[in-house]
Amino acid sequence: MKDLEQLARSRLSDRRFLHVKGVAATAADLARRFGADEQEALTAAWLHDMFREVKEPEMRALFLEVGLEPPPGAADTWHGPLCVARLERDFDAQVSAQVRDAVAWHTLGHPRMGLLAQVLYVADAAEPLRDYEGVRRIREAAARDLEQAVATVSDMTIAHLLERRSEISVQTVELRNLMWSRVRAREVRDDADNDARGRLVHA
């Protein structure tokens, strides 16, 4: 596999390269803390925006060249799936299914996202150069609970798209619902445990 950091530097503007560098550092940190593979997290992070600065007609041509149609939805959500479609051809990259899913789903999210994909999704939204209203809430959630951070990122994405009257992917909504339902289920369990412990203490 080629040196992905060098490759990102050569393909991206300075501004975007610094974003990707921040995502790599944040993804490695989240991977360490939540038990994902750190090397895989770095690979996914260096890859995720390789096609972010390619214009729509060229992206369309790059999909067609490997026998694929562009996915449904806005063109600014194509760069992840396009990267996965062209991994072998452009980067000589053999990567795991987890890395492929993480890169493919980093913009829209997906209810089947595993740990590594969750790490990239949150790192992309929370890297140190991100500066938007609400980014602190994502960082605070990411300090404690990865699923809550994923849920918070998808909430904010959905709110942003609603405000702009843009299309909202069903994948994003399904991910959001699933993550909050898991967070709630865990909170209910923790409350029950605390109650039980409280009863023991007072017994």
* Region binding Fe ion by CB under 5 A among candidate stretches 69-77, 87-95, 123-131, 168-176: 123-131
Closest contact distance (angstroms) between CB of 79 and Fe ion is: 6
What H or E segment, with its residue span, contains residue 27?
A: helix 14-34
- Whether 48 and 20 have beta carbons less than 8 Å apart is answered as yes
Tokens 């007609």, residue located: 57
**What is the rounded CA–CA span in Å between residue 168 and residue 122?**
18
Rounded Cα distance, 186 and 27, in Å: 24
3-state class of 147 per DSSP?
Answer: helix
Identity of the residue, 52 or 183, whose beta carbon is nearer to Fe ion in the bound complex: 52
124 binds Fe ion per the rule CB under 5 A: yes
Residue 107: alpha-carbon gap to chain centroid: 6
- Kindly tell me which of 5 and 180 has the beta carbon lying closer to Fe ion: 5
Stretch that binds Fe ion, among 33-41, 48-56, 115-123, 176-184 (CB under 5 A): 48-56
Q: Select the residue interacting with Fe ion from 49, 101, 145, 147 (CB under 5 A).
A: 49
DSSP of 37-56, one letter per residue?
Answer: -HHHHHHHHHHTTTTTTS-H
Q: Which listed range, 30-38, 44-52, 113-121, 159-167, lies at the site for Fe ion (CB under 5 A)?
A: 44-52
- Least Å distance, CB 23 to Fe ion, is 6
Q: Tell which positions 81-120 bind Fe ion, by CB under 5 A.
A: none
Instruction: Give the interface with Fe ion as residue ranges (CB under 5 A).
Output: 49, 124
